[in-house]
Amino acid sequence: MKELNKTRMLAEFKEIVALPCHTLQERPVLELLQSKLAAMGFEMQEDDAGKQLGGNCGNLWAFLPGNKEGATSVLFSAHMDGVEPCGGTTVVQKDGILYSDGTTILGGDDKSGVVAILEGVRMLLEENAEHGDIQLLFTIAEEGGVNGSRCMDKSLLKAEVGYALDSEGAPGEIVVGAPGQYKYTISIHGKKAHGGLEPEKGINSVMIAAKALADVKRYGRIDEETTCNIGIINGGTATNIVPDLVVIQGDARSRNNEKLNAIKDEIVNTICTSAEKYGAKAEAEVENKYSSFLVEEDSKVVELAKDACAACGFKADVTLTGGGSDANFINAYGVPCVILGTGMSNVHTVEEFLKEEDLYNSAYLVYEILKAAAK
């Protein structure tokens, strides 16, 4: 197998994690990627996701036309933002493992994916290998609700298969399914009255919320791929006031969109119908955070990843996840996409770490996926 330029890749990782990358403040990362991708011959576009979300830049799209007729076109994706405390990371190397200095996250989530894409593609281009069309998508605002990819300009998506490099498993992990999620907020409106002087004039929204919640028969784990949770309840202002408002918030998740819709409807309808039956008014706000996806194991996107794993000597580990990511929207918008593990570990903490070997192996995998797609 072609030798990877580890020194260059590690230097690039350090360079990128040193940049500020707060969610919706990703422009420094975007600008650095623009200059690197321009040098590699990519055409680029920035979409208006940042405008929609109030950020300082959009998602970065890059495209390099293929040089081989009939090769599969491939999309690679990674997100540019990190969770707090992020940016300005000083990388500390110890026994082949990368850490931060303890004051920030390392940023392997998701800069390990970003540099793996850059280095994997660069390796391929440096040997003038045959390849199909290569599309890259570097998203904003993945952290805190997968908003950047939700707002992407989906008309720009044009690959046949997609790979989001954004999972904790080691290179070789292929995540083929993830749940969708709904969030719901239900307001139960009663009527305010003085609790001591004239309670009979009030409608007690706290008591009605309690009864309505007691009518919810299914919650928590629904089945192997479906869960729901009522997580927040707020209401009332004083012990001597009949409360006129209670707000209940919860979510529902499933890898099966039908089951997801069913449990979301069941919970929201039960609470609303019951609250009205007990004399209050109820209104529900339901937000579809993202849809589920499940890619068939014998589909092209998985086959190419498995071929690449075999070429790299990695054990392919086909699995499912419980969380949402950019892959949910890439799939929802029409490109079958799996998530690849990059070895990022203890993410979202200042104890985050990444094995150097996993960093390099992710680049090998990108390179071999492009090779497999050109066969």
Q: Which residues bind Zn ion (CB under 5 A)?
A: 109-110, 166
Residue with smaller CB distance to Zn ion, 105 or 123: 105
Minimum CB distance to Zn ion, residue 338 (Å)? 15
Residue with tokens 């076109």: 73
Residue with smaller CB distance to Zn ion, 235 or 323: 323
Rounded to whole angstroms, how far apart are CA atoms 111 and 346? Answer: 14
Minimum CB distance to Zn ion, residue 46 (Å)? 20
Q: Pick the catalytic residue from 26, 81, 133, 358.
A: 81
Tokens linked to 337: 């996409």
Q: Is the peptide bond before 20 cis (omega within 30 degrees of 0)?
A: no
Minimum CB distance to Zn ion, residue 109 (Å)? 4
Residue with smaller CB distance to Zn ion, 267 or 340: 340
Rounded to whole angstroms, how far apart are CA atoms 133 and 333? Answer: 19
Minimum CB distance to Zn ion, residue 63 (Å)? 23
Minimum CB distance to Zn ion, residue 142 (Å)? 6
Local structure of 288: helix, strand or coil? strand
Residues 248 and 233 sit within 8 Å (Cβ to Cβ): yes
Minimum CB distance to Zn ion, residue 225 (Å)? 22
Helix %, strand %, coil % for the chain, to 5? 35, 30, 35
Q: Pick the catalytic residue from 142, 143, 244, 326.
A: 142
Residue with smaller CB distance to Zn ion, 114 or 272: 114
H-helix or E-strand spanning residue 53: helix 49-53
Minimum CB distance to Zn ion, residue 128 (Å)? 33
Residue with tokens 């998701």: 110
Rounded to whole angstroms, how far apart are CA atoms 110 and 164? Answer: 10
Check if 81 is active-site. Answer: yes
Residue with smaller CB distance to Zn ion, 13 or 63: 13
Rounded to whole angstroms, how far apart are CA atoms 237 and 215? Answer: 25
Distance of CA 185 to the CA centre of its chain: 22
Residue with smaller CB distance to Zn ion, 110 or 225: 110
Comparing CA positions, the residue from 180, 209, 71 lying closest to residue 134 is 71
Tokens linked to 296: 């068939």
Check if 285 is active-site. Answer: no
Task: Find the helix packing angle between 6-17 and 27-39, rounded to 10°.
Answer: 150
Residues 58 and 49 sit within 8 Å (Cβ to Cβ): yes
Local structure of 336: helix, strand or coil? coil
Residue with smaller CB distance to Zn ion, 110 or 368: 110
Residue with tokens 């390849």: 131
Residues with catalytic roles: 81, 142
